[in-house]
């Protein structure tokens, strides 16, 4: 597994405010994700949980959480889970995403990313599907994404 992001998470989240600090560090590395102000809650190989507070800036014109904010939350959680799960020397990039809107997204959102299948030894590269389930404060699934990651060796 790629221990850099996982070891940073484990080291930093022991401190007071560590989850906030880790979330800011990830957004510093990938600034666009700061638009949803994510908060990483859990990270381990094969699982990442990220929360997004209910704020006006992520709402659409009808007062629910905007579809693109949900997509950002899904891609962020899937990407960090992939980073924490892959073996050293590998890299990932999203290759495709299919989404399902299951209900009105109101309130704070909770995304959990898990792989659909085990990652095999990808010498020349492989597709790796990741499922992200997003729930509302009541625990009702309001959004689901299937993100196809392309896993390949890092260029030297």
For residue 60, what is the DSSP state? -
pLDDT at 1: 47
| In the predicted structure, residue 93 carries a pLDDT above the cut 80 | yes
Residues 7-46 have pLDDT tens digits of 999 999 999 999 999 999 999 999 999 999 999 999 999 9
CA distance 48 to 35: 19
Instruction: Report pTM.
Output: 0.92
Query: Tokens representing 13?
Result: 């989240």
Query: Tokens representing 113?
Result: 């990313």
The number of beta carbons lying within 10 Å of the beta carbon of residue 17 is: 10
Domain 3-153 bears CATH identifier 3.50.50.60? no
For residue 45, what is the DSSP state? T
């Amino acid at each position: 597994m790629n221990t850099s992001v996982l070891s940073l998470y484990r080291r930093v989240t022991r401190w007071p405010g560590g989850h906030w600090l880790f979330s800011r560090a990830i957004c510093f590395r990938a600034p666009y994700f700061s638009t949803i102000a994510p908060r990483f809650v859990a990270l381990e190989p094969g699982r990442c949980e990220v929360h997004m507070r209910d704020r006006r800036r992520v709402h659409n014109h009808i007062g629910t959480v905007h579809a693109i904010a949900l997509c950002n939350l899904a891609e962020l959680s899937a990407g960090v889970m992939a980073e924490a799960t892959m073996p050293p020397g590998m890299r990932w990039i999203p290759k495709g995403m299919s989404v399902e809107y299951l209900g009105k997204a109101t309130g704070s959102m909770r995304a959990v990313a898990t792989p659909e299948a085990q990652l095999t030894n990808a010498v020349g590269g492989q597709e790796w599907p990741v499922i992200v389930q997003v729930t509302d404060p009541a625990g009702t699934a309001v959004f689901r994404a299937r993100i196809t990651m392309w896993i390949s060796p890092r260029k030297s």
